[in-house]
Amino acid sequence: MLAWLAGLVLASSFFARWQDQRFNPNPQPVSRHAGQTVEVRLQANPQGHFVCSGMINGQPVELLVDTGATDVAIPAALARQLRLEAGPPSLQQTAGGTVSGYLTWLDRLQLGDILLRHVRAVVMPDFPGQAVLLGMSALRQLEFTQQQQTLVLRQSVTEPS
């Protein structure tokens, strides 16, 4: 009986890790440096979405790239964990219609070695899950191209003078 129970626990653990890897094929985005440019390549998950692990203000988060989103969108429960201040109310247009949220600012948003500072975001009270939508308020600071199942993000880095 114990052997069956141990086997069941191991199988459940393996399946959970496998599911996580399928949803987020980029748990540790790899950065490449070339001159004044930092590049991160993301692989699409089986649904064709680009998901990666990142950091907001030094805290780990899961990011889902959404070029159709105006701002970075953060579920309210996660915003509380990240200790983000909910600022003034803001109406957001989504595929499902108009929803209300609260403006906030991220001091630091990081994907691999790409570091963005002072990024506009919206705390979304009715947004389910824990994934952060990486919208255009962050992406407009980068150059990005998609080549089949790979999304390439590039940031020009200037040396401080």
Predicted local distance difference test score (pLDDT) of residue 19: 45
- Amino acid making up residue 114: I
Predicted local distance difference test score (pLDDT) of residue 58: 96
- Amino acid making up residue 67: T
Q: How far apart are CA 126 and CA 24, in angstroms?
A: 23
Residues in the chain: 161
Give yes or no for a contact between 155 and 95, defined as CB atoms under 8 angstroms apart.
no
Measuring CA to CA, which residue among 86, 73, 50 is closest to residue 138? 73
pTM reported for the whole predicted model: 0.82
Task: Determine how β-strand 114-124 pairs with β-strand 131-134.
Answer: unpaired
For 130, other C-beta atoms within 10 Å of its C-beta total 12
Phi, psi (5° rounding) for residue 7? -65, -40
**Ranges under pLDDT 70 in the chain:** 1-23, 95, 159-161
Predicted local distance difference test score (pLDDT) of residue 10: 57
pLDDT digits (tens, 9 = 90+) for 35-82: 999 999 999 999 999 999 999 999 999 999 999 889 999 999 999 999
Query: Tokens at residue 71, please?
Result: 């701002």
